[in-house]
Amino acid sequence: MNGNAETARSAGEAEAVAEAMAAAGVAFADECRACARRIRLAHTIFAAREEWTDERPGPAWSHVDAWDRARADLAEALVINVGRAQSFLTFSLDLVRRLPAVLEAMEAGRMDERIARDFHRRLATVDSDRIAAVQARAVAEYLGRLDRGERPGRAAVDALIDEVIEQLDAEALARRRKAAVRDRFVSFREAPDGMCTLYASLTAAEGAVLAARLEHDAADALDREPDAGTSRGERLVDALVHLAVNTAAPACSTPGSDEGPGRAPIIRPQVTVIAGRGPAAGRVVFARSGAASVDALLQLLGACTGATLESVDPTPGAADHGNRAERRARTRTYRIAEDLKRRIRLRDGTCRHPGCSVRAEFCDVDHVRPFDHTDPSRGGPTAEHNLMCLCRRHHRFKTHGSWRYHLERDGTLTVVTDTGRRLRTRPFGPLARWRELEAHGRVAPDVVWPPNRGGYRLAC
């Protein structure tokens, strides 16, 4: 290729890239503006709900507040779950009412949602008298850096905002740090493939201590068993579990047990087994000893001391069976028996309000069709096909709101909102999942028992 051809090729390449970059820039700006528009509309929805909630007749306790209504509206409109809707609503109201300079930067197509959320988070504790000056200077500083050709990362943006806060409202930083300590948490979330994800928010000092201890114990394990073939990640998890079970609360011990110094602590499990009957019976797999039938597991656990065993018949309505008189008495009594409540929680897994993920164990069990206290024979029976889990907030929402609910025998719930939209939610607890697997001709999934390197043993 001669020099002219090479120059023409480079110019063509640069032109094509420049064109795509310009289009990408326009798309970015459109995205910023679209998000700003969603924020303004979220505020409009909230304001409308607030106005109508205030004018509603009846005592204050029977009002579903504007927050709950607007949150449900947003989950429906933006096709997101209730948790995200809550977060977006809080963000939207704060931007419209408290952080207009941030919202204007979005409307100018210069700031995306992620950066705007950083501003929102970091400016949360700034005094209301100073917030206008702090945000104006922080936003101007951020946009100025972009104009100078800088592309600051998240940490740099955070530092920039904090610098401005320090200059104009230093106490806000101290307040924010105090709030962060109060907001520390540890949470466990079910994950695919028989796993669980652990999240924690710790102070930097706590994190450093914990990290040092786990690193130390994992290194020790490697020294003791250099040929174990475990990864660093596995050794860290083993160290964490070992740390937890070997400093377990004294309630784990019983007088006269064989626990004591130098012995592994005993963990007494509560085991729930969902088991089909006859040929549909599931199976359990122990990673070290292979597959076992559910019957064998039941026999083993039945001979244990300390373990609590519960076997659940997965047949829909199994808990409502019995002779006619028993059935009648049960379905026409308002109070829900504990075993029936437990069954509904096992079926539903979470609150059944569309998009809500509050775990069933923290939910109320509610009659879908209300129980008729004056004449129980007229409907609203206390039976599996008329009960569902609702968190306290959505229980109130259903009782005092104007949405309509219909539960099918398989636990599918149809909801018609006050704006006429029809939504469906399916139960997602272990019982519902077992039924789904069975319906597709598969037996219950294998339960894998992990190799026990934590130094504990089960009481069976």
Q: How far is the CB of 352 from Zn ion (least distance, A)?
A: 8
In whole angstroms, give the CA distance from residue 422 to residue 67. Answer: 21
Which one, 235 or 394, has the nearer CB to Zn ion?
Answer: 394
Check binding of 351 to Zn ion (CB under 5 A).
yes
Which one, 15 or 361, has the nearer CB to Zn ion?
Answer: 361
In whole angstroms, give the CA distance from residue 205 to residue 73. Answer: 42
In whole angstroms, give the CA distance from residue 150 to residue 155. Answer: 14
* 343 CB-near residues (< 8 Å, 6+ apart): 312, 319, 384, 431
- CB neighbours (10 Å) of residue 336? 20
What does the per-residue mask of binding to Zn ion show for 385-404, with x meaning CB under 5 A? ------x--x----------
Q: How far is the CB of 73 from Zn ion (least distance, A)?
A: 15
Q: How far is the CB of 394 from Zn ion (least distance, A)?
A: 4
Which contiguous run of DSSP H or E holds residue 407?
strand 404-407
Mark the segment that binds Zn ion (CB under 5 A) among 96-104, 330-338, 344-352, 425-433: 344-352
In angstroms, what is the C-alpha Rg of the chain? 29
49: left (phi over 0), alpha (psi -120 to 50) or beta: alpha
CA torsion 35→38→42→47, rounded to 10°? 110
Decide: helix, strand or coil at residue 78.
helix
- Inter-helix orientation angle 170-182/154-168, to 10°: 120
Mark the segment that binds Zn ion (CB under 5 A) among 34-42, 232-240, 260-268, 343-351: 343-351
Which one, 265 or 349, has the nearer CB to Zn ion?
Answer: 349
Give how far the C-alpha of residue 309 lies from the chain's centroid of Cα atoms, to the nearest Å.
28
Check binding of 352 to Zn ion (CB under 5 A).
no
Which one, 428 or 449, has the nearer CB to Zn ion?
Answer: 428
# residues near Zn ion by CB under 5 A: 6
In whole angstroms, give the CA distance from residue 204 to residue 370. Answer: 50
In whole angstroms, give the CA distance from residue 214 to residue 436. Answer: 40
Q: How far is the CB of 349 from Zn ion (least distance, A)?
A: 12
Check binding of 71 to Zn ion (CB under 5 A).
no
Which one, 111 or 356, has the nearer CB to Zn ion?
Answer: 356
Q: How far is the CB of 71 from Zn ion (least distance, A)?
A: 10
Which one, 75 or 99, has the nearer CB to Zn ion?
Answer: 75
Which contiguous run of DSSP H or E holds residue 301?
helix 294-302
Mark the segment that binds Zn ion (CB under 5 A) among 110-118, 302-310, 356-364, 438-446: 356-364
- Interface with Zn ion (CB under 5 A), residue from 342, 353, 396, 435: 353
Which one, 32 or 391, has the nearer CB to Zn ion?
Answer: 391
Mark the segment that binds Zn ion (CB under 5 A) among 19-27, 219-227, 355-363, 399-407: 355-363
Which one, 178 or 421, has the nearer CB to Zn ion?
Answer: 421
In whole angstroms, give the CA distance from residue 219 to residue 207. Answer: 18
- Interface with Zn ion (CB under 5 A), residue from 75, 356, 387, 388: 356
Tokens encoding 216? 């130390």
Binding site for Zn ion (CB under 5 A): 351, 353, 356, 358, 391, 394
